[in-house]
Structures are given as structure tokens and as C-alpha cells.
Amino acid sequence: MTGRQNARFGRVSVSDILNANLEKKATRDGYGAALIDIGADNPKVVVLDADLSGSTKTKKFSEKYPERFFNYGVAEQNLIGQAAGFALSGLIPVASSFAMFAAGRAWEIFRNSVGYPHLNVKVAATHAGITLGEDGASHQIIEDIALMRVIPGNTVIVPADYHQAAAAIKAAVAYQGPVYLRLGRPNVPMIYAANDPVNVGGSHVLQRGEKIAFIACGVMVYEAFKAAALIEKETGLKITVIDAYSVKPLDEQTILTETKNAKLVVTFEEHNIMAGLGSAVAELLSSVQPVRIHRVGLRDEFGQSGDTASLMKHYKLTAETMLPDLLALVKST
């Protein structure tokens, strides 16, 4: 299913993106709110958690539908194994925990008990990436996109804001097969409207421009779009901006079309640049239409303890901290 859309699909324009007063909400909150609607619409949906329902935002589902909520305590491998059992029983399990535990600690269980038999399990993992903040490197998973992308037949979706996260879990539940949904802890700017859809294998073209394309996922969509706006303000150059929220399957048609005449493609992710979105885009373009690629993300290094804003600045993942390097790339293209 293609997700190709017209330019400026989201509700925020290139001029609006520089507005410091954009409303902010966490992607995990969008997920939690959507679960209530999903529970009302589909009695087959059950929600599983690992003693973190307050943090993963499944608590309200547990209060509304207690007979369809199951808490497994600090036992994430058991959580995923039980989710597989529910799927084999004809139900649609949605399992949540911190991403470090859901994708990291329980990876082998997901691979063998969910991925290999291709079961209809949805894992909604919160607190991903360095934006988790003060818990530090032990909890800041920067490898989960790589881990979940490499599992054959698995789907990986990384929403950019509150509304897209809500749409993403609805799309995941409607889709037949395993899905990994990557969610974050902090409040982030909202760039989409409530009715903007999410499709497995889709993407959104937020802006069409000239000779340079920015391709991002998750919290980095806003930062990439803002960087494009700052570059346009300084140089007059309009840059194509693509939200590749479906990291796997990647929206190959849209990316190939929108980068056909590009001289430079820059990818953005709050993740190790190895084996994540940047690698997925590089794999596609190198095999079909080679182009110069620069990847923005963590460069083979762990996170560290600190507040979200400080960490994003330290690792040069904000539009302002990325701007000098991006301007140098633009001017050399």
C-alpha cells in the first residue's frame, strides 16, 4: 500500500514551523488516547503491560476495559510470549513496555514467537531514544529500529507527533501481522491534524523543493522540517521534506520519485545511524538511483543522563545545532 501524498500534507506549513508556540504533546499520549477508541470499536483487542501502565499510557484502557487488560510485571519476555498466545487464540494483543525492554530484552522472544510464525501482535514501545532523558544510556535504546527492522516480515512505524501516534496504533491494529510502534516520552510539537492518516508502507511529503531532500522519522521530522525552514530563510532554497514514518516497509515509490532529481539526500533519526532509517534509505537509493547521502543521528555512540533538551543539543539533533553542518552541505552541493 503506497502512502504517497500531496505536498504539505500536515497542518503545519514551512512558515508555521518556525512558530515557537506550537502545541506540544507526547506520542505515548496519542497512543494511550487512541487505545480507548480502539477498545470500543474492536472487542478482540487486548492490552498487555509490564507494570508500567502509567508511563506507557495504557492505564486508562485498563480502567475502561479491565477484563481485557493484563499486567505481567517486570517480565517483558513473558509479556511478548503471552501476546503470541493471545494472537494464536484469535485476539489482537497490543503489548507495551519501555522500548529498551520490549525491543531489547524481549527481542529473541519476539523474533521466534511472533516474527517467525508471523503472528498478529502489536508492540507499542514507549520511552525510545535519547529523549527518554535522565535514565541514561542503560534505558535509552538507540538500536531498536535496527533490531526490529531486521526481523523478516516485521513492520516498523515511527510516528512524529501525538496525532500521528494515534493514527499509527489504529493502522497497526487494522493491519494483519506483527508491528513495532516506536513512541517517545517527551512532549513534542504537533505538526499533524487529527484526521491525517497513517498507512503501513506510507509516508507524507510535507514540502516539495529543489535538488535537496530531507527524509526523517519520529521526533526528527519536526527538527528536519524546521532546519529546512531555517535554510530557506537564509538561502532562499526550498528543500523537499519527507516524513518516512513507515520505516519498514519503506515507501520506496515516494522516496524514489521525490529524490529523482536530488543532488543530496539527508536522513534524520533519533537512533544510531547504523541500520536505522538512514541505512534503509541508503540501501534503496544505492541500488536504484545513487545520490549523495548524509545521515543525521547518533554516530555509533551511547546516550547519557541529562534532560531531553540538553541531550538533543549535545548530539546535534535540534534544527539549530544541525544548521551549520547542513548549510555547509547545502553550499557544497
Q: What confidence category does residue 219 fall into, taking pLDDT thresholds of 50, 70 and 90?
A: very high
Residue finishing a domain among 171, 189, 207: 189
How many percent of the chain have pLDDT more than 70? 96
Residue 152 shares a structural domain with residue 279: no
Q: What confidence category does residue 82 fall into, taking pLDDT thresholds of 50, 70 and 90?
A: very high
Q: Does some domain include residue 6?
A: no
Confirm if 214 and 220 have CB atoms less than 8 A apart.
Answer: no
- The pLDDT assigned to 10 comes to 57
How many percent of the chain have pLDDT more than 90? 93
Residue finishing a domain among 189, 206, 228: 189
Confirm if 234 and 242 have CB atoms less than 8 A apart.
Answer: no
Residue 139 shares a structural domain with residue 227: no
Segment (H or E) for 238? none
Query: Can you give the residue range of the structural domain that contains 306?
Result: 16-22+197-331
- The pLDDT assigned to 9 comes to 54
Burial 70-93, CB ≥16 within 10 A → b, else e: bebeebbbebbbbbbebbeeebbb
Identity (one letter) of the amino acid at 161?
Answer: D
Q: What confidence category does residue 89 fall into, taking pLDDT thresholds of 50, 70 and 90?
A: very high
Ranges of beta strands (E only) in 150-244 are 155-157, 179-182, 187-189, 204-207, 212-216, 240-243
Rounded CA-CA distance 103/109 in Å is 10
Do you find a cis peptide bond into 324, omega within 30 degrees of 0?
A: no
- The pLDDT assigned to 16 comes to 82
Residue 146 shares a structural domain with residue 293: no
Cell triple for 146: 535496527
Integer-rounded Cα radius of gyration of the chain: 19
Residue 179 shares a structural domain with residue 50: yes
- The pLDDT assigned to 1 comes to 33
Q: What is the CATH number of the domain that holds 92?
A: 3.40.50.970
> With 90 as the cut, is the pLDDT of residue 213 above it?
yes
**Once rounded to an integer, what is the mean pLDDT over residues 104-122?**
98
Backbone angles phi, psi at 230, to 5 degrees: -65, -40
Q: Does some domain include residue 312?
A: yes
Residue finishing a domain among 169, 189, 209: 189
Residue 203 shares a structural domain with residue 102: no
> With 50 as the cut, is the pLDDT of residue 262 above it?
yes
Residue 226 shares a structural domain with residue 258: yes
Confirm if 198 and 245 have CB atoms less than 8 A apart.
Answer: yes
> With 60 as the cut, is the pLDDT of residue 4 above it?
no
Name the average pLDDT for the chain. 95
Q: Does some domain include residue 8?
A: no
> With 50 as the cut, is the pLDDT of residue 267 above it?
yes
pLDDT in tens, 303-327: 999 999 999 999 999 999 999 999 9
Residue 210 shares a structural domain with residue 270: yes
- Of the candidates 299, 303, 295, the one whose C-alpha atom is nearest the C-alpha of residue 185 is 303
**Once rounded to an integer, what is the mean pLDDT over residues 298-302?**
97
pTM (two decimals) = 0.96
Q: Does some domain include residue 9?
A: no
Residue 64 shares a structural domain with residue 82: yes
> With 50 as the cut, is the pLDDT of residue 8 above it?
no
pLDDT in tens, 140-162: 999 999 999 999 999 999 999 99
Q: Does some domain include residue 11?
A: no
> With 80 as the cut, is the pLDDT of residue 68 above it?
yes
> With 90 as the cut, is the pLDDT of residue 7 above it?
no
Rounded CA-CA distance 272/317 in Å is 12
**Once rounded to an integer, what is the mean pLDDT over residues 120-135?**
98
Identity (one letter) of the amino acid at 188?
Answer: V
Residue 247 shares a structural domain with residue 305: yes
Confirm if 308 and 131 have CB atoms less than 8 A apart.
Answer: yes
Residue 181 shares a structural domain with residue 220: no
Q: What confidence category does residue 11 fall into, taking pLDDT thresholds of 50, 70 and 90?
A: low
Q: What is the CATH number of the domain that holds 226?
A: 3.40.50.920
Count: domains in the chain: 2
Q: Does some domain include residue 297?
A: yes
Residue 169 shares a structural domain with residue 231: no
Rounded CA-CA distance 116/87 in Å is 13
**Once rounded to an integer, what is the mean pLDDT over residues 259-275?**
98
Q: Does some domain include residue 4?
A: no
Rounded CA-CA distance 145/280 in Å is 10
Cell triple for 78: 513473558
- Of the candidates 58, 8, 64, the one whose C-alpha atom is nearest the C-alpha of residue 29 is 58
Rounded CA-CA distance 237/97 in Å is 42
- The pLDDT assigned to 47 comes to 98
Q: Does some domain include residue 1?
A: no
Residue 314 shares a structural domain with residue 205: yes
